């Protein structure tokens, strides 16, 4: 990846963590799902008017011509319904965006793929379709989707023709005002815009007029002009068209800087997906799940074991990593107290940014129902973590002390989801079982990272000096995070 994209990744991750990241989605985001872009939406309409859509540059004008010819917009509304109510699959890009903790989405699209993807990620989405809807907020919302050009559910109100654009500030002024505020305070990524889209001309003109010099840096992706796109059937390059396309792209890139939009060049659109996979993985690495349960702590003294868990959790939080806990028996309280100790000692630190508690549902009498629910709960809990630490791991069953089978299930799920495993083997029980397992095939779990494997090996050595042990664990975490960053 080039330097500009690497810098974008760092900038955007920082913006996500600061709650100041936003997405502006254009038609290109939905094309892979099977919906049409603006040109294809207008193709049949242009043909009916006796025009060639490939020769036209003002597609809004075509929409207006069609409305004029029909003396109303009933036909064009039906065209929207036909095209955007098709049963299509949610794309990988939509799913990736929905998984990320991005709270602000703007779109000119009429489809509902963004909001569907967010809902499927078990999040609450607040969709703004009309100016009136901007005046209230859905409780406990995780994300807001601003549909500034309307929605397929209200085709008659969709912004499509010249009439619609000319009356936009009268009917949708509140959207313009809200967008202005977000463009000042958030870092936007424009995704799915060709910058030939007539919609965008109106948007960009508003941005520049509204913001003046008070502009924040924003980003967009461009596919680099390739010679392959200008080779005819005989394998001959059309040099004139190729040079023309390169020149125009560079001029576009320069022009976008007037709006503080930085263009990021990719060789293929699939690279955009790869960029967001990296962002997702990087953010996951900032979430550590502590898996543990203990009725007894032998060979550790209880006080020493609790102090170890407390200090470890505190140290993880101090390093800007969120701790996730299922509130395991004998472990959860020390995890909570350790993180809270950091939060209360730090001005400006927030508990929800440092600790997520997910205690298991209790009092479920039916065994099969409980096991099924707990499996789903574990699966969800481990979905957004990059590292899992295993500590102790025993429970009392029918008066007998046994290893925690639930922790073994968490180990299997964590491996399946690509999380890195850190078993504290010296704490014994299921953690020792897991440590033995990963050390039998270290390359399978840690690749050929000898430095990381040596750290994991140390965690299995008999040791109840929690200070030294915590140093080794934190060194292990650092190696994991640094290694993944170097892969970029």
Q: Catalytic residue positions?
A: 149
Measure the CA dihedral 328/332/334/335, to 10°: 120
Integer Cα distance of 169 and 161 in angstroms: 14
Tokens of 178: 């809200």
Question: Which SS3 state, helix, strand or coil, does residue 215 take?
Answer: coil
The residue whose two tokens read 């996979």 is 277
Long-range pairs for 201-207 at CB < 8 Å and ≥24 separation? 202/165, 202/168, 203/108, 204/259, 206/176, 206/179, 206/180, 207/179, 207/180, 207/183, 207/259
Measure CA 151 to chain center: 23
How, if at all, do strands 400-403 and 394-397 pair? antiparallel
Nearest to 436 by CA among 416, 414, 453, 460: 460
Integer Cα distance of 255 and 263 in angstroms: 10
Cα angle 359, 336, 385 (rounded to 5 degrees) comes to: 65
Tokens of 314: 């505190």
Nearest to 136 by CA among 186, 174, 167: 174
Integer Cα distance of 44 and 52 in angstroms: 9
Q: CA Rg, the chain, in Å? A: 27
Cα angle 97, 205, 45 (rounded to 5 degrees) comes to: 75
Pair 111, 35: CB distance under 8 Å: yes
Point out which residues pair with 388 in neighbouring strands: 289, 421
Question: Which SS3 state, helix, strand or coil, does residue 106 take?
Answer: strand
CA distances from 37 to 2, 151, 196, 370, 400 (A): 29, 15, 11, 47, 64
Strand ranges, E, within 227-304: 261-266, 287-293
């Amino acid at each position: 990846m080039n330097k500009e994209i690497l810098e974008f990744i760092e900038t955007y991750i920082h913006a996500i963590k600061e709650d100041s990241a936003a997405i502006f989605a254009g038609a290109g985001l939905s094309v892979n799902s099977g919906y049409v872009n603006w040109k294809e939406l207008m193709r049949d309409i242009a043909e009916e008017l006796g025009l060639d859509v490939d020769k036209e540059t003002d597609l809004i004008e075509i929409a207006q011509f069609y409305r004029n010819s029909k003396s109303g917009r009933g036909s064009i509304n039906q065209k929207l319904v036909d095209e955007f109510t098709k049963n299509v699959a949610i794309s990988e890009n939509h799913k990736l965006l929905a998984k990320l903790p991005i709270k602000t989405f703007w779109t000119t699209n009429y489809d509902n793929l963004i909001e569907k993807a967010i809902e499927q990620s078990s999040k609450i989405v607040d969709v703004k379709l009309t100016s009136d809807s901007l005046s209230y907020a859905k409780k406990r919302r995780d994300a807001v989707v601003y549909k500034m050009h309307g929605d397929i559910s209200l085709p008659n109100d969709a912004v499509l023709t010249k009439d619609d654009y000319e009356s936009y500030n009268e009917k949708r002024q509140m959207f313009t005002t809200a967008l202005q505020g977000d463009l000042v305070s958030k870092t936007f990524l424009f995704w799915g815009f060709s910058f030939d889209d007539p919609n965008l001309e109106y948007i960009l003109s508003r941005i520049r007029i509204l913001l003046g010099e008070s502009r924040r840096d924003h980003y967009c992706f461009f596919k680099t002009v390739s010679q392959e796109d200008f080779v005819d059937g005989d394998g001959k390059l059309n040099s004139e068209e190729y040079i023309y396309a390169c020149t125009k792209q560079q001029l576009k890139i320069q022009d976008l800087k007037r709006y503080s939009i930085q263009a990021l060049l990719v060789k293929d659109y699939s690279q955009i997906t790869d960029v967001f996979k990296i962002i997702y993985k990087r953010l996951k690495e900032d979430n550590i799940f502590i898996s543990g349960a203990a009725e007894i702590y032998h060979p550790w003294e209880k006080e020493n074991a609790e102090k170890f868990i407390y200090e470890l959790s505190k140290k993880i939080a101090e390093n800007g990593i969120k701790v996730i806990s299922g509130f395991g028996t004998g472990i959860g309280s020390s995890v909570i107290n350790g993180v809270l100790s950091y939060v209360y000692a730090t001005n400006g630190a927030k508990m929800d940014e440092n600790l997520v508690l997910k205690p298991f549902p209790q009092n479920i009498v039916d065994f099969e129902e409980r096991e099924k629910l707990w499996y789903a709960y574990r699966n969800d809990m481990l979905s957004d973590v990059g590292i899992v630490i295993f500590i102790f791991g025993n429970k009392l069953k029918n008066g007998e002390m046994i290893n925690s089978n639930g922790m073994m299930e968490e180990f299997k799920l964590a491996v399946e989801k690509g999380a890195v495993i850190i078993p504290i083997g010296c704490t014994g029980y299921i953690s020792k079982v897991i440590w033995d397992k990963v050390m039998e095939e270290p390359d399978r779990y840690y690749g050929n990272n000898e430095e990381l494997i040596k750290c994991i090996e140390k965690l299995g050595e008999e040791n109840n000096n929690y200070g030294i042990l915590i140093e080794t664990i934190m060194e292990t975490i650092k190696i994991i995070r640094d290694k993944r960053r170097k892969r970029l």
